[in-house]
Structure 1
Amino acid sequence: MDNTIKPLVELNIDKYNINPSFSQLSNIIQNQLIEIENFFQKYTKEQIKLSELLKNQKINLAKVCISTTIPRSSVYNSPNVLKKYINERINEIEKNDLFDIKKAQKNSEDYELLKKYIEHIKIQIIETDIFELKIQELEKEIKDLNHINKQYAFENATLRNENENIKFQLVNKKSNVINFNNHSQ
Structure 2
Amino acid sequence: MGIKERRDVEKAEMKQKIMTAAIEIIEQEGYEKLSIRKIASRIEYSPTTIYLYYKDKAEIIKDMAQKLYGKVMDNLSQQDTVVSADQKVHKMMRIFIQTLCEEPEMVKAVMFSGVNVIFANDSTDGKPTNSGIAMFDELLADGIKQAVFRPVTAGHSWMIVSAMLGFVMSAIENQTYLLAGFEQLTEDFVGILLGGIKL
Which structure shows the higher helix fraction?
A: 1
Using the size of structure 1 for normalisation, the TM-score is 0.22
Using the size of structure 2 for normalisation, the TM-score is 0.21
Structure number with bigger Rg:
1
